[in-house]
Amino acid sequence: MNTRSLFYKDIPSPVGHIRLIASEVGLVAILWEGEDYGRTKLATPQMDAEHPILVRTEQQLEEYFKLERHTFDIPLALEGTPFQLRVWRALLDIPYGFTKTYGELAKLLGDIKAVRAVGGALNKNPISIIVPCHRVVGTSGKLVGFAGGLIHKSVLLDLETTYTQPKLF
């Protein structure tokens, strides 16, 4: 990462406390409770509970967890390799309440043999939830690999599935 200034805000959520990190231009990361900066290789940010991008992100995440929001319009400041950026952008095309397998994602990116590389890129996704790596599952539909832990992946998928399932009266 470069030497730009980073700012953070910690917020409660149904998946534990999460740390929102932004630069002046966009959201840089969402870190899980207890997670250090090693996975995302970020510099240590300074606390700014009133940073406009962080406040907007907090509001949109609250709406998401209340089932009132299905898409986000937060400016993102993703940094990664060209392949990682392609994978993360492809995640943004997986609709709310739906999943894709690692193989389907690799095929969409033009190389079915890139399944492991896709998994590696997902592991480095700095903006969980908003860049929805939780919507990627194993070939059998089994929950595998998630930086926030499989319990949290399950919570996020259950939340989205609950909303998208037809209501029975």
Q: Which sequence spans correspond to the domains of the chain? A: 7-65, 82-164
What is the predicted pLDDT for the residue at 166? 55
**Pairwise pLDDT comparison (16 vs 1), residue with the higher score:** 16
The tokens of 145 are what? 């690999």
What is the predicted pLDDT for the residue at 84? 95
30 classed as catalytic = no
The CATH-assigned architecture of domain 7-65 is: 2-Layer Sandwich (3.30)
| CATH 1.10.10.10 holds for 82-164 | yes
What is the predicted pLDDT for the residue at 105? 93
CA angle 78, 84, 86 (to 5 degrees): 90
What is the predicted pLDDT for the residue at 1? 44
Mean pLDDT of 40-52: 88
What is the predicted pLDDT for the residue at 149? 66
What is the predicted pLDDT for the residue at 167? 52
Q: At 24, which amino acid appears?
A: E
What is the predicted pLDDT for the residue at 63? 96
What tens digit of pLDDT does each residue of 122-163 get?
989 999 999 999 999 887 777 777 766 677 888 889 889 876
Say which of 20, 28, 133, 147 is annotated catalytic: 133
**Is it true that 7-65 and 82-164 share their CATH fold?**
no
Question: Mind giving me the DSSP string for 33-83?
Answer: TT--STTTTPPPPEE-TT-HHHHHHHHHHHHHHTT--SS----B-----HH
For residue 106, CA distances in Å to 88, 139, 159 come to: 12, 12, 26
